[in-house]
């Protein structure tokens, strides 16, 4: 029986979520204007000093999921719109794009890390970003606008991706400071280990190790974002918790020993002598590697 011929009871509800996609252009103009990135995103996510490539990724992610999340919560009472079940359903609906965005900003961090060589500065940036995202969620949650829930959830999603960018940036600068040439696979493996992944400690970042580390992070991304969102909505306390969690996450990455040199890094160092490693090549190869087993949208 074809997928389209199945009864609602026989269809996988996750496929229905993947098939539904609403664009900002599909919403009433006034709503689309209120929830689009340049109007609704916290200033920390719209910083002018961020590399252009990062700004583009954050804007595209925000504008690519805001309408879907609005479509999920529109018409719900406030209590239900901010319930854990609704938040998780909204996150599952945009999970594939969220996962891809997190992986893309890791590649971006390898080529265009956050400015500054001091580790404490990166920790401070992450803490400030976490506090700002939590404050935006808290303010949106108590506001009277019908778009409050969609802005709050979208802020949590993009804030999670921004933290991954900061963490990947500080790790990249640690390798560069040691005369190394890290690739995205090495960095994502380090981020996974700092978050609790136990299968990569001390191992070289081969393609298999990097793939498994990225898959492990992806499996926990929705739950991690939902938990952080719930904590951020606790009045006042949520702002401090958001800052502390973000800063702690980046600090854990900085405390890991550098990973042993891999064969791919040796080749990368040799290529760097001849020509600069292409961001577009890294982006394409890393997404191909990490999405090898992902189902992706229908």
Taking only the tens place, the pLDDT of each residue in 47-102 is 787 888 888 888 999 898 999 998 988 888 877 887 888 888 888 999 888 888 88
Which one, of 102, 145, 137, 94, lies nearest residue 233 by Cα?
Answer: 137
* In contact, 143 and 49? CB cutoff 8 Å: no
In a domain, 221, yes or no: yes
Per-residue pLDDT at 11 exceeds 90? no
Which two structure tokens, joined as six digits, stand for 208?
């298999």
Domain that holds residue 152: 15-290
Residue 193 lies in a domain: yes
Rounded CA separation 19/220 (Å) = 22
Domain count, the chain: 1
Does 174 have pLDDT greater than 80? yes
Residue 19 has pLDDT above 60, yes or no: no
User: Is residue 3 in a domain?
Assistant: no
Residue at 10 is within a domain? no
> Does residue 43 surpass a pLDDT of 90?
no
Q: Is 298 part of any domain?
A: no
Q: Please, how many CA atoms are within 13 Å of residue 263, restricted to the half-sphere of its CB?
A: 4
This prediction has a pTM of 0.76
Say what the pLDDT of residue 240 is: 38
Measured distance CA(171)–CA(187) in Å, rounded? 7
Whether 8 is covered by a domain: the verdict is: no
Query: Residue 1 domain-assigned?
Result: no
In a domain, 139, yes or no: yes
Distance between CA atoms of 197 and 50, rounded to whole angstroms?
29
């Amino acid at each position: 029986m074809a997928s389209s011929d199945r009864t609602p009871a026989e269809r996988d509800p996750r496929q229905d979520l993947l098939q539904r996609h609403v664009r900002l252009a599909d919403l009433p103009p006034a709503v689309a204007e209120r929830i689009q990135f340049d109007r609704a995103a916290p200033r920390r996510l719209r910083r002018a000093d961020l590399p252009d490539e990062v700004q583009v990724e954050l804007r595209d992610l925000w504008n690519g999921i805001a309408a879907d999340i609005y479509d999920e919560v529109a018409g719900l009472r406030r209590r239900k719109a901010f319930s854990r079940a609704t938040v998780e359903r909204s996150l599952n609906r945009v999970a594939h794009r969220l996962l891809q965005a997190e992986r893309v900003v890791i590649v971006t961090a390898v080529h265009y890390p956050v400015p500054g060589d001091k580790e404490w500065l990166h920790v401070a940036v992450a803490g400030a970003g976490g506090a700002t995202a939590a404050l935006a969620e808290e303010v949106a949650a108590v506001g009277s606008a019908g778009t409050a829930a969609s802005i709050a959830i979208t802020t949590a999603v993009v804030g999670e991706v921004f933290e991954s960018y900061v963490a990947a940036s500080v790790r990249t600068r640690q390798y560069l400071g040691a005369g190394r040439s890290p690739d995205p696979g090495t960095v994502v493996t380090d981020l996974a280990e700092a978050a609790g992944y136990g299968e990569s400690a001390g191992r070289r970042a081969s393609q298999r190790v990097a793939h498994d580390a990225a898959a492990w992070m992806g499996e926990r991304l929705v739950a991690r974002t939902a938990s952080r969102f719930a904590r951020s909505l606790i009045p006042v306390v949520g702002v401090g918790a958001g800052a502390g969690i973000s800063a702690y996450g980046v600090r854990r990455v900085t405390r890991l020993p550098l990973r042993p040199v891999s064969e791919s890094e040796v080749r990368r160092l040799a290529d760097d002598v001849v020509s600069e490693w292409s961001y577009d090549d890294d982006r394409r190869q890393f997404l191909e590697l990490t999405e090898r087993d992902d189902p992706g949208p229908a």
